[in-house]
């Protein structure tokens, strides 16, 4: 894929914001791929964690926000645990989720959830799910 | 008798009551008591991974403020509660500005004077596994038991610190103390899919299925966990797949080894009861 790099994108306001909200410095990442290799759900992501970080390094914020990766990330921290540079892809994807939810758009609605799940699931699953998916 | 303030959390007060009661009964058999905080609220069930989300710290901070009135330690059982309370506690202790902001949102003040420990840490560090063995009256001889850790008990290592994040042994050490045969399996620190059970059950089936298969391949006859959501996801996945490993809380088999009546251990709530296996092993 051919992409055009521009300094204004790389240091753009949106990329700076996701770095600030996540507390992560994308430039630390040297693309070893350990995060994507260890991630149990990268197979279901449009863009795996290491490439999410690469796109942010290149200023492509919109590609990150369009991908399903942030909604698939379960926050298990295997990526962070195995990162030799101490970068947490999970924190970055949570920041992407937060930036989306803080605009007031929900990713899930309670009326769409199966009743069987709501009746039998441990409360922690429901509370956690709503905190991850609802503004 | 040593009394340790204890945070049960929402799930252990309802759908995972057997986790709570078996731990309490076991504690008494080993000479200590865990005592519910007089007042508590939900911990929030997820630690906010974005450092600017201070609001997400208020629910666990309120729990810690309540715990501070009861003493200087707080123990808990659910891996998620443990993760949220321990990580929040670290943030509030390290960052006085955040502590003061959070305190402004609460009726009570938290001063940062509580240490959060898991029940497993109490057994290892305060009671000692040798003392646990001394209290065992029904050694779980020959029961091949796989300890499934999952994520929240262990990660991130520098905050949780209960054991090595990639190669923990605390649960296997407990299993040895109970006379069981621990089964180390490759996927024991992998994720079960957690809250994705809510809207992506296919991912949970795959992840939990991997965990069960991995344990079964190493010859496990029973899986123990310290997380109600792991327990739920593994049991549900197994119900679809057709294998039938019992998946129980570590305190249920702890209670069994300490000689508790099996009727008090809540095995009837398990979709895959270990009772047949235990009878086969002539432990009941």
**A32 interfacial to chain B (CB closer than 8 Å):** no
- Identify all chain B residues contacting A22, using CB atoms and an 8 Å cutoff: 49-51
If asked whether residues A24 and A44 sit together in one domain, one would say yes
Instruction: Please give the residue range of the domain that contains residue A126.
Output: 107-135
If asked whether residues A118 and A53 sit together in one domain, one would say no
pLDDT of A3 over the 80 cut: no
If asked whether residues A74 and A50 sit together in one domain, one would say yes
Percent of chain B with pLDDT over 70: 100
If asked whether residues A126 and A86 sit together in one domain, one would say no
- Identify all chain B residues contacting A88, using CB atoms and an 8 Å cutoff: 49, 156
According to DSSP, the residues that pair with B117 across neighbouring strands are B75
pLDDT per position as a tens digit, B86-99: 999 999 999 999 99
Q: Which of A85, A4, A89, A7 is nearest to A42 (CA)?
A: A89
- Identify all chain B residues contacting A20, using CB atoms and an 8 Å cutoff: 52
How far does A95 lie from chain B, in Å, by closest CA?
6
**B100 interfacial to chain A (CB closer than 8 Å):** no
Q: In this structure, what CATH number is given to the domain that contains residue A33?
A: 1.10.1060.10
If asked whether residues A118 and A97 sit together in one domain, one would say no
Which residue among A74, A91, A112 places its CB closest to the CB of B193? A74
Question: Which of A124, A129, A133 to probe the B interface (max B CBs under 10 A)?
Answer: A124
pTM, 2 dp: 0.97
> Per the domain annotation, does A45 fall within a domain?
yes
How far does B281 lie from chain A, in Å, by closest CA?
31
How far does B277 lie from chain A, in Å, by closest CA?
26
Contact A113 B196 (CB under 8 A): no
Measured distance CA(B194)–CA(B202) in Å, rounded: 12
DSSP string, B123-174: IIIII-HHHHHHH-SS--TT-EEEE--TTTTT-SHHHH-SS-SSS--HHHHH
- Identify all chain B residues contacting A126, using CB atoms and an 8 Å cutoff: 198
- Give the pLDDT confidence score for residue A9 in this predicted structure: 87
Contact B232 A125 (CB under 8 A): yes
| Nearest chain B residue to A88, by CA | B49
> Per the domain annotation, does A2 fall within a domain?
no
| Nearest chain A residue to B56, by CA | A131
**A125 interfacial to chain B (CB closer than 8 Å):** yes
- Give the pLDDT confidence score for residue B73 in this predicted structure: 98
**A60 interfacial to chain B (CB closer than 8 Å):** no
Residues B125 and B161 sit within 8 Å (Cβ to Cβ) = no
If asked whether residues A86 and A116 sit together in one domain, one would say no
Measured distance CA(A44)–CA(A132) in Å, rounded: 18
> Per the domain annotation, does A115 fall within a domain?
yes
Give ∠ CA B180-B185-B190 in degrees, rounded to 5.
Answer: 120
- Give the pLDDT confidence score for residue B243 in this predicted structure: 85
Q: Based on the structure, what is the number of domains in chain A?
A: 2
If asked whether residues A49 and A80 sit together in one domain, one would say yes
Which residue among B44, B166, B228 places its CB closest to the CB of A127? B44
> Per the domain annotation, does A15 fall within a domain?
yes
How far does B234 lie from chain A, in Å, by closest CA?
12
Give ∠ CA B11-B12-B13 in degrees, rounded to 5.
Answer: 90
**A90 interfacial to chain B (CB closer than 8 Å):** yes
**B157 interfacial to chain A (CB closer than 8 Å):** yes
> Per the domain annotation, does A67 fall within a domain?
yes
If asked whether residues A81 and A128 sit together in one domain, one would say no
pLDDT per position as a tens digit, B39-91: 999 999 999 999 999 999 999 999 999 999 999 999 999 999 999 999 999 99
The pLDDT confidence band at residue A128, using thresholds 50, 70 and 90, is very high
If asked whether residues A93 and A112 sit together in one domain, one would say no
Q: Which of B225, B18, B41, B232 is nearest to A119 (CA)?
A: B232
Mean pLDDT over the full length of chain B: 97
Could you give phi then psi for residue B19, rounded to 5 degrees?
A: -65, -45
If asked whether residues A73 and A130 sit together in one domain, one would say no
pLDDT per position as a tens digit, A52-95: 999 999 999 999 999 999 999 999 999 999 999 999 999 999 99
If asked whether residues A56 and A81 sit together in one domain, one would say yes
**A121 interfacial to chain B (CB closer than 8 Å):** yes
| Nearest chain B residue to A118, by CA | B198
**Maximum separation of any 2 CA atoms in chain A, in Å:** 51
> Per the domain annotation, does A128 fall within a domain?
yes
pLDDT per position as a tens digit, B212-265: 999 999 999 999 999 999 999 999 999 888 789 999 999 999 999 999 999 999
Q: Which of A96, A85, A94 is nearest to A56 (CA)?
A: A96
pLDDT of A1 over the 80 cut: no
Name all domains of chain B by residue range, CATH numbers in brackets.
Answer: 2-119 (1.20.1050.140), 136-280 (3.40.50.11810)
- Give the pLDDT confidence score for residue B209 in this predicted structure: 97
- Give the pLDDT confidence score for residue A86 in this predicted structure: 97
Which residue among B52, B78, B151 places its CB closest to the CB of A77? B151
- Give the pLDDT confidence score for residue A5 in this predicted structure: 85
> Per the domain annotation, does A70 fall within a domain?
yes
Q: Which residues contact A109 (CB under 8 A, 6 or more apart)?
A: none
If asked whether residues A81 and A54 sit together in one domain, one would say yes
């Amino acid at each position: 894929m051919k992409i055009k790099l521009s300094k204004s994108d790389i240091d753009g306001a949106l990329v700076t914001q996701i770095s600030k909200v996540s507390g992560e410095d994308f430039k630390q990442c040297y693309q070893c791929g350990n995060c994507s290799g260890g991630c149990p759900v990268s197979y279901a992501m449009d863009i795996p964690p290491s490439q999410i970080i690469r796109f942010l390094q290149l200023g492509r914020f919109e590609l990150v926000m369009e991908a399903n990766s942030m909604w698939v990330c379960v926050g298990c921290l295997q990526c962070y645990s195995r990162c030799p540079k101490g970068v947490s892809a999970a924190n970055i994807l949570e920041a992407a989720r937060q930036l989306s939810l803080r605009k007031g758009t929900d990713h899930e609605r309670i009326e769409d959830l199966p009743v069987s799940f709501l009746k039998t699931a441990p409360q922690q699953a429901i509370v956690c799910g709503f905190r991850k998916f609802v503004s | 008798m040593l009394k340790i303030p204890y945070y049960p959390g929402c799930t252990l007060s309802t759908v995972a009551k057997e986790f709570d009661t078996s731990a309490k009964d076991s504690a008494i058999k080993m000479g200590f008591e865990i005592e519910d905080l007089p007042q508590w609220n939900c911990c929030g069930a997820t630690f906010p991974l974005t450092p600017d989300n201070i609001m997400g710290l208020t629910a666990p901070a309120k729990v810690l403020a309540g715990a501070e009135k009861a003493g200087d330690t707080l123990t808990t059982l659910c891996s998620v509660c443990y993760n949220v309370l321990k990580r929040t506690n670290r943030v509030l202790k390290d960052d006085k500005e955040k502590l003061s902001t959070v305190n402004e949102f609460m009726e009570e003040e938290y001063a940062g004077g509580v240490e959060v420990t898991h029940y497993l840490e109490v057994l290892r560090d305060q009671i000692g596994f040798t003392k646990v063995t001394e209290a065992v009256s029904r050694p779980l001889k020959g029961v091949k038991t796989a300890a499934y850790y999952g994520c929240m008990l262990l990660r991130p290592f520098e905050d949780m610190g209960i054991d090595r994040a990639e190669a923990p042994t605390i649960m296997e050490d407990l299993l040895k103390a109970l006379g069981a045969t621990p089964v180390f399996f490759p996927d024991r620190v992998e994720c079960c899919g957690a809250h994705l059970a809510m809207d992506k059950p296919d991912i949970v089936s795959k992840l939990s299925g991997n965990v069960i298969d991995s344990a079964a391949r190493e010859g496990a006859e029973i899986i123990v966990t310290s997380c109600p959501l792991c327990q739920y996801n593994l049991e549900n996945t197994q119900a679809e797949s057709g294998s039938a490993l019992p998946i129980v809380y570590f305190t249920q088999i702890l209670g069994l080894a300490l000689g508790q009546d099996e009727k008090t251990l809540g095995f009837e709530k398990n979709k895959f009861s270990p009772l047949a296996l235990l009878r086969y092993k002539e432990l009941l």
